[in-house]
Amino acid sequence: MSTPAIEATDSESVATTLRARRLGLTAAGNDLIAVMRHDCPVCRSEGLASRAQVSLRAGDHEVVVSLLHSSGDTPAPGEIGLSETAWHRLAVRDGDLVEIAHAQPLASLSDVRRRVYGNRLVEEAFSAIIGDIAERRYSDVHLSAFVTACSAVPLDRNEMVGLTKAMVDVGERLSWPGAVIVDKHSVGGLPGNRTTPIIVSIMAAEGLIMPKTSSRAITSPAGTADTMEVLAPVDLDVAAIRRVVEREGGCIAWGGGVKLSPADDVIIGVERVLDIDAVGQMVASVLSKKIAAGATHLVIDIPVGPTAKVRSADAADTLSTALTSVAEAFGLHTRVMCGPGAEPIGRGIGPALEAEDILAVLQGEPGAEDLAYRACELAGGLFELAGATPAGGGFARALESLESGRAWTKFQRICEAQGGMRAPPVARFQQDMIAPHSGRLVSIDNRKLATVAKLAGAPMAKAAGVMLHNRLHHMVEAGAPLCTIHAESPGELDYAAAFAVSDGAIFGITAE
Amino acid sequence: MSTPAIEATDSESVATTLRARRLGLTAAGNDLIAVMRHDCPVCRSEGLASRAQVSLRAGDHEVVVSLLHSSGDTPAPGEIGLSETAWHRLAVRDGDLVEIAHAQPLASLSDVRRRVYGNRLVEEAFSAIIGDIAERRYSDVHLSAFVTACSAVPLDRNEMVGLTKAMVDVGERLSWPGAVIVDKHSVGGLPGNRTTPIIVSIMAAEGLIMPKTSSRAITSPAGTADTMEVLAPVDLDVAAIRRVVEREGGCIAWGGGVKLSPADDVIIGVERVLDIDAVGQMVASVLSKKIAAGATHLVIDIPVGPTAKVRSADAADTLSTALTSVAEAFGLHTRVMCGPGAEPIGRGIGPALEAEDILAVLQGEPGAEDLAYRACELAGGLFELAGATPAGGGFARALESLESGRAWTKFQRICEAQGGMRAPPVARFQQDMIAPHSGRLVSIDNRKLATVAKLAGAPMAKAAGVMLHNRLHHMVEAGAPLCTIHAESPGELDYAAAFAVSDGAIFGITAE
């Protein structure tokens, strides 16, 4: 076989620009999508037909999108159709020129592959990986591989420090006047347990600074941001957070709105689909956001129970050690407080239902005493860690703030400062789960209960979730409601109720 | 807070059917896609706006698709738009009714999560996972997590046996008259090395039965099926394979066409995106296909070299032990033959260029003597394993079959039986890589060379790839071409050439 004469490619070069066309497409998963015609000359000359991803550029904006090929009417030849997210990230208008090119091979993927093969990574590797993730250059397949590899062979301390640092470095960073900035985090896994808005109200009412940013749900039916959002706006930018904290000493904002750890927001999206939450990622996720938020003193709540996220004292120890040891590397004072995790804390599960509990606690109404108690324990720990009360004096000070009504006044003022307080929505569709016989309630499967709330639509459907009517160790009567499923659509109510009935016992009741 | 009266959901139930609309969408990645309007009543009543996936049913056909929401003109209200793959799998026509429902939570995902957390799985778990994967119920994120988890914490022998068995069980299974059915596999990783069509021709010419099914490329610039396809049709169904093998004693078909291991075909798609190929998956992938194809005697080629897939004698031992020990569990006689892996075997890399080498070997033309030699070694090993020659007599018999022209005659007859022989295409765009100075060629980076061929478009662009002009340890002159990059589009040629120049030395040449 002979080598044919070399054909110059420059003379064959064609324009690699297309005209933007807004398609109005959105998706719950990865929604950076572009559509081009299969017979498009640019597609043919660039050999894009076999590519799953391409790079698009318009002006200063660049984005890597998943590529769909169309043989239909839309887009027209010479056009490139864009999903809503791609459209906004490229900041184009209909007909604007968009340059299309092969997505560059990402150098950081070779480090992901090394981790997938079970090797450890150094700080520089995490830096490169997290930089590319923050820029949304990774496909879902690559994100999932990175997250999974860091879970199957757990991150060691050096890796956790490297990942945490990389996450802080790609985000915004807040700083505050004053030597003590308090913060609180719960590792979650326990439905309800929405102590944060109560704690912020207490700390700020007592004169401490607590600029709290919270996440939305990762694998749970609600994150603090989801719940707080039914009571007041949480999507605040840095300037708005500063304004609220300057005025009230505290805020309860959504962390994603300030891009404290933009890579973590992308990673959390994949963890949500996988329904996993590994120790190393959790440590980096939590601490990167606290460090970026400018916290100096941090209390971490770890609920421990047979169906909570952390199921044993051993597991709590592992997580606790990882958190404090990595926090130390960044000079962050941290106190881990393990707590009860056998049943939900509060009665509501899901954004609106949890918000009802928070209002009850702040207003001194009965029904969610366990939530009030846990909030005072954690707030008390924070008072002590920050040196605001002597050791042993924190709980009483927190309780006094609550009982005096000062915390409730402060909460209303924070809501007003964040854009105005509002009332939680009520679900239109509800269905009771009935006790099949009388007896003592001896176990609650938190995971299954959370799944029911999620199938009912939480956290996206704000009013959806589960309202509990009984607490552990109490007697229940045959035929009495154990809980009520709330949903915003009949399809979701059916979906959740079918799972609740089919998937084994959520509530363990002794024989009569 | 009070529990509101329970509202019946049945009275609110709405139709959950939509009319099918073909969108003509395809994608190189996951292409099971449906598009529905954001304001669609079905979407609202079923609460589908927050769902990334839904289940669609039409008649007996059911498929889980990724869901996109549209605020544009297409589809119209009451319609559901379908990608080509979704369209074909549902077997609908425009306007047919399609039922839409929440995708059922997949029970097997809890086993995937267990593996993601580093736990081992039993046979039943692999069975459930592989069943769901074969039915394409997993999203890309879940597939990637499963593949990664099985790589980061490598599968042990029990897991490999379980995975292999699960893969065999979900596919078709062939059986053949006769006690000896020979087969051959190469673990790949070495560009070129396309011995299979030569070995099948030799074995069949000498009267053995070799119904060979091969895969397309996983992470390489060409699989045997990709290469063979430029010489004859390879997409044969079971009946066609039987016809060819009955007539000629051998075939060289694409395994995906007979669904021997349909789950593996899905998994390979994700491995290709990740560019990984872990031992456990490799063992299950290889052996499941051989067992399903009805093989009794199997020779496995493992090229070993510093930039091949298997880089050391240790790694070759690990893989070799895994392959033979798992094969034994299924009663498959297996012989592993390690071979040279420091440089490509043959001159061509990419489907058409490798096909040219095969033709040269079969026709007794010079230029690819290394390929002829390796093919005879492996064919010889197979003769001996199958008891067709005494130990030590295999190589000579293979060589004689080649030199006599019997193998070439048999190859042409097999091509005719598969649907007709054809000539490989020639790339329109080519560019030489030039030796920067004179000296001895002392190293070739196989991985980078493979990347160049892939960036040039191989294996999707059949004529694309790299043609080598020098072998290791030979002298090269300054300015002489080291290799020629072949592409079917100028964009891909530029893309490949830019990488070849930028990414360090592919060819190591001693100073003059």
Q: Which residue of B has its CA nearest to A368?
A: B1
Q: What is the mean pLDDT of residues B365-391?
A: 97
For the stretch A393-437, pLDDT in tens is: 999 999 999 999 999 999 999 999 999 999 999 999 999 999 999
CB–CB contact B68 A27 (8 Å) = yes
Q: Give the residue from B77, B102, B127 where a domain finishes.
A: B102
Whether residue A52 and residue B74 make contact (CB cut-off 8 A), yes or no, is no
Window from A111-120, A255-264, B2-11, B262-271 with minimum mean pLDDT: B2-11
Q: Which residues of B touch A44 (CB under 8 A)?
A: 489
Nearest beta carbon to residue B3 from set A51, A360, A484: A484
- Tell me which of A3, A108, A137, A148 to substitute to probe the interface with B (most B C-beta atoms closer than 10 Å): A148
**Which amino acid, one-letter code, is at A160?**
M
**A394 vs B503, higher pLDDT:** A394
With CA atoms as reference, the chain A residue closest to B41 would be: A489
Last residue of a domain, which of A102, A120, A140?
A: A102
Other Cβ atoms within 10 Å of A460 Cβ, number: 18
Q: Is B45 on the interface with A (CB under 8 A)?
A: yes
Q: In angstroms, rounded to a whole number, what is the distance separating the alpha carbons of residues A453 and A31?
A: 25
pLDDT in tens, B155-189: 999 999 999 999 999 998 999 988 899 999 998 77
Alpha-carbon distance of B21 to B75, in angstroms, equals: 7
Contact A409/A204 with Cβ under 8 angstroms? no
Mutate to test the interface with B, among A151, A226, A502 (most CBs of B within 10 A): A151
Total residues belonging to chain A: 512
Instruction: Establish if B4 touches chain A: CB-CB under 8 angstroms.
Output: yes
**Mean pLDDT score of chain A:** 90
Same domain for A235 and A159, yes or no, is no
Cβ–Cβ contact B159 with A under 8 A: no
pLDDT tens per residue across span B120-136? 999 999 999 999 999 88
Q: Check B117 against A492: CB less than 8 A apart.
A: no
Interchain contact, B116 vs A148, CB within 8 Å? yes
Q: Is B342 exposed, middle or buried (0-12, 13-18, 19+ CB in 10 A)?
A: middle
Please indicate, yes or no, whether residues A347 and A367 belong to a single structural domain of this protein.
Answer: yes
Tell me whether residue A251 is in a domain: yes
Residue B164 contacts residue B280 (beta carbons within 8 Å): no
pLDDT digit string, tens, across residues B43-63: 766 667 667 788 899 998 888
Please indicate, yes or no, whether residues B113 and B148 belong to a single structural domain of this protein: yes
AA identity, residue B28: A
Q: What is the number of structural domains in chain B?
A: 4
Cα-flanking dihedrals φ and ψ of residue B290, to 5°? -70, -45
A25/B38 touch (CB, cutoff 8 Å), yes or no: no
A457 touches chain B (CB under 8 A): yes
Quick one: pLDDT band at residue A14, thresholds 50, 70, 90? very low
Whether residue B68 lies within 8 A of chain A, CB to CB, comes out as: yes
A55 CB neighbours in chain B (<8 A) are none
Residues B336 and B434 grouped into a single domain: no
Q: Which of residues 323-362 of A touch B (CB under 8 A)?
A: 347, 356, 360
* B 281-310: CB under 8 A from A: none
Evaluate whether residue B96 is within a structural domain: yes
CA distance A481 to A478: 9
| Contact at CB, A28 and B50, closer than 8 angstroms | yes
Residue B9 falls inside a structural domain: no
Indicate whether A355 and A287 sit together in one domain.
Answer: yes
Work out the minimum CA distance from A132 to partner chain B, whole angstroms.
15
**Chain B contact for A8 (CB, 8 A cutoff):** no
Q: What is the CA radius of gyration of chain A?
A: 25
User: Does the CB of B152 have a partner CB in chain A at under 8 Å?
Assistant: yes
pLDDT above 70 as % of chain A: 95
Return the CATH number at A28. Answer: 2.40.40.20
Residue from B226, B277, B301, B357 carrying the catalytic annotation: B277
Q: pLDDT tens for residues B206-223?
A: 999 999 999 888 778 999
Domain with B491, as residue range(s), is 429-509
Same structural domain for residues B325 and B259?
yes
Under 8 Å between Cβ of A298 and A185: yes
Same domain, B485 and B358: no
Of all helices (H) and strands (E), which one includes residue B57?
strand B53-58
**A124's tokens:** 């520089």
Report A:91-110 residues touching B (Cβ under 8 A): 102, 105, 109
Read off the pLDDT of each residue in A105-123 and give the average, rounded to a whole number.
94
pLDDT by residue (tens digit) across A157-197? Answer: 999 999 999 999 999 899 998 889 999 999 877 889 999 99
Question: Is the pLDDT assigned to residue B490 strictly greater than 70?
Answer: yes
Within this chain, do residues B90 and B120 fall inside the same structural domain, yes or no? no
Contact assessment for residue B225 and residue B419, using Cβ atoms and an 8 Å cutoff: no
How far does B71 lie from chain A, in Å, by closest CA?
5
What's A139's domain CATH number? Answer: 1.20.970.10
Enumerate the residues of chain A whose CB falls inside 8 A of the CB of residue B7: 428-430
CATH number of the domain to which A480 belongs: 3.90.1170.30
Contact between residue A441 and residue A470 where contact means Cβ atoms under 8 Å apart:
yes
Q: Is residue A9 part of a domain?
A: no
Cβ A46–B489 below 8 Å, yes or no? yes
**Confidence at residue A456, expressed as pLDDT on a 0 to 100 scale:** 93
Question: Last residue of some domain: B366, B386, B418?
Answer: B418
In a domain, A263, yes or no: no
Cβ neighbours for B346, distance < 8 A, ≥ 6 positions apart: B192, B193, B194, B354, B357, B368, B370, B371
The CATH number of residue B297's host domain is: 3.40.1030.10
- Structural domain contains residue A25: yes
Interface-testing mutation among B6, B7, B9, with chain A (most A C-beta atoms within 10 A): B9
A69 touches B: beta carbon within 8 Å: yes
Q: How confident is the model at residue A443 (pLDDT cuts 50, 70, 90)?
A: very high
Do A97 and A140 lie in one domain? The reply is no
Per residue in A54-85, pLDDT tens? 889 999 888 888 888 888 888 888 899 999 98
Q: What percent of chain B has pLDDT over 90?
A: 70
Inform me whether the C-beta atom of residue B138 falls under 8 Å from chain A C-beta atoms. Answer: no
CA distance B320 to B79: 54
Residues B209 and B252 both lie in one domain: yes
Give the pLDDT of residue B72. Answer: 81
Q: Provide the shortest C-alpha distance from residue B76 to chain A (in Å).
A: 13
User: Which chain A residue has its CA at the smallest distance from B428's CA?
Assistant: A7
Q: Which two tokens stand for residue A209?
A: 């600074």
CA B143 to centroid of chain Cα atoms: 16
Q: Which amino acids of A are annotated catalytic?
A: 277
Q: Are the beta carbons of A152 and B152 separated by less than 8 Å?
A: yes
- Interchain contact A488–B (C-beta under 8 A): yes
Q: Are residues A152 and A194 both part of a single domain?
A: no
Note whether residue A195 is domain-resident.
yes
B259 Rama sector, left if φ>0, alpha if ψ -120 to 50, beta otherwise: left
Instruction: Please list every residue in chain B whose beta carbon sits closer than 8 Å to the beta carbon of residue A70.
Output: 23-26
Strand partners, A259: none
Q: Does residue B269 belong to any structural domain of this protein?
A: yes
Within an 8 Å CB–CB cutoff, is residue B457 touching chain A? yes
> What SS3 state is found at B465?
strand
Q: How many CB atoms lie within 10 A of CB A194?
A: 31
Query: What 8-state DSSP symbol labels residue A267?
Result: H
Chain A positions in Cβ-Cβ contact with residue B31 (cut-off 8 Å)? 68
The answer on A343 and A223 residing in a single domain is yes
